[in-house]
Amino acid sequence: MQELPVHNVSFTTFKLNGFHDLGEWRRLLFLPYCLMFLLSTLSNSILIYLIISRTALHSPMIVLIGLMSVVDLCLPIFFVPNMLLSFLFAWNSISRVACLIQMFCLLYFGTFQSTVLVWMALDRFFAICRPLYYHKYMQIPNILKFIIVPIMRNIILIVTIVTLAGKLSFCTTDEIDHCFCEHMALVQLACGDISSNNIVGLLAAFLIPTTDFVFISVSYLIILGSVFKSGKSHLKAINTCITHIIVMIFTLTFSLTAFMSYRIRNNFSSSFRVFLSTMYLLFPSCFNPIIYGVRTNEIREQFLKFMNKQNILPEC
């Protein structure tokens, strides 16, 4: 029987070889990533438990912080355990279907994180600039009207990205130079035309995180302008705004740098690109619960009460 030409064969399994150029030193990455994963899991789980169990924390803004913690808890679960096994035992195989599913989950939860920050910006806008309308517009049925558009935007773009990636043929190599199924790391292995994948990827990058960042920044500028114009002291509001902007800047910087590193010429090493990609997913998940939990008085008070009740902290 005559063998099929190589270019007609499309791989159905891949090997995730992120940080491969570190050689034997690659195993040492297990410890820092494992510690970050444990920090993310523990801190977000505690925060979610506190917000669910304490009725004093059921205000709209704190519920949004809890929703952010759910996203932060789920995101690392989709890729860190596999990455840790790969570091220790070189278990780096993944099927094409599993790769696409992982890509969808990471993109969906990653963009939903951005959407929650938009929701938080709306909460602060109505609380400070339109306080008389706060309870009217921040009720769940009404706030969904504001959020449904960005959620539909996210779903349409992500489904398009994953569908286009799933239609590609991979006939040159089965090694993905990454620790998870990052969109461009996979698409670059294709042996066909990937121009449509590039275009949709660019649209997603600028229509989701970039647009959300602009919206959030404008909202907070309006809030700060309203605070200074009224002459009122809203230190808590200013702290909240600044915190949200800092978190957004860090996340956007990591994600866009990693994203553009696949599309423009640069001197970034392969390992540095992978590091950036893991950080924009893992960094916010580790530090969001600390930033929002520790800096929010209501959550901090309930946490201290919980710890004292468990006899973990000495009573004052």
pLDDT of 310 reads 66
Say what the pTM is.
0.85
Which residues, 6+ apart, have CB-to-CB distance to 21 below 8 Å? 269, 270, 271
In a domain, 16, yes or no: no
Q: Which domain holds residue 272?
A: 26-309
Taking the C-alpha atoms of residue 274 and residue 179, their distance in angstroms, rounded to an integer, is 7
In a domain, 224, yes or no: yes
Beta partners for residue 15, in sequence order: 93, 175
Average pLDDT, the chain: 83
In a domain, 5, yes or no: no
Taking the C-alpha atoms of residue 253 and residue 300, their distance in angstroms, rounded to an integer, is 29
201 close to 255: Cβ distance less than 8 angstroms: no
Which of the two residues, 119 and 269, has the higher pLDDT score? Answer: 119
In a domain, 219, yes or no: yes
CATH of residue 258: 1.20.1070.10
Lowest mean pLDDT among 64-73, 82-91, 144-153, 301-310: 301-310
Residue 135 structure tokens? 């309870």
In a domain, 6, yes or no: no
In a domain, 88, yes or no: yes
In a domain, 7, yes or no: no
Pair type for strands 13-16 and 93-95: antiparallel
pLDDT of 237 reads 61
Q: DSSP secondary-structure letter at 55? A: G
Instruction: Give me the amino acid identity at 126.
Output: F
Answer yes or no: is pLDDT of 98 > 60. yes
Alpha-carbon distances, residue 314 vs 173, 237, 306, 308, 309 (angstroms): 59, 32, 12, 7, 10
Average pLDDT score over residue span 2-25: 73
Total number of domains constituting the chain: 1
User: Residue 126: how many CB atoms within 10 A of its CB?
Assistant: 21
Phi-psi region of 66 (alpha: psi -120 to 50; beta: other; left: phi over 0): alpha
277 close to 22: Cβ distance less than 8 angstroms: no
Which of the two residues, 262 and 88, has the higher pLDDT score? Answer: 88
Q: How far is CA 108 from the centre of its chain?
A: 9
In a domain, 10, yes or no: no
* Cα angle, residue 77 at apex, residues 252 and 243 outer, rounded to 5°: 35
Residue 16 structure tokens? 């995730």
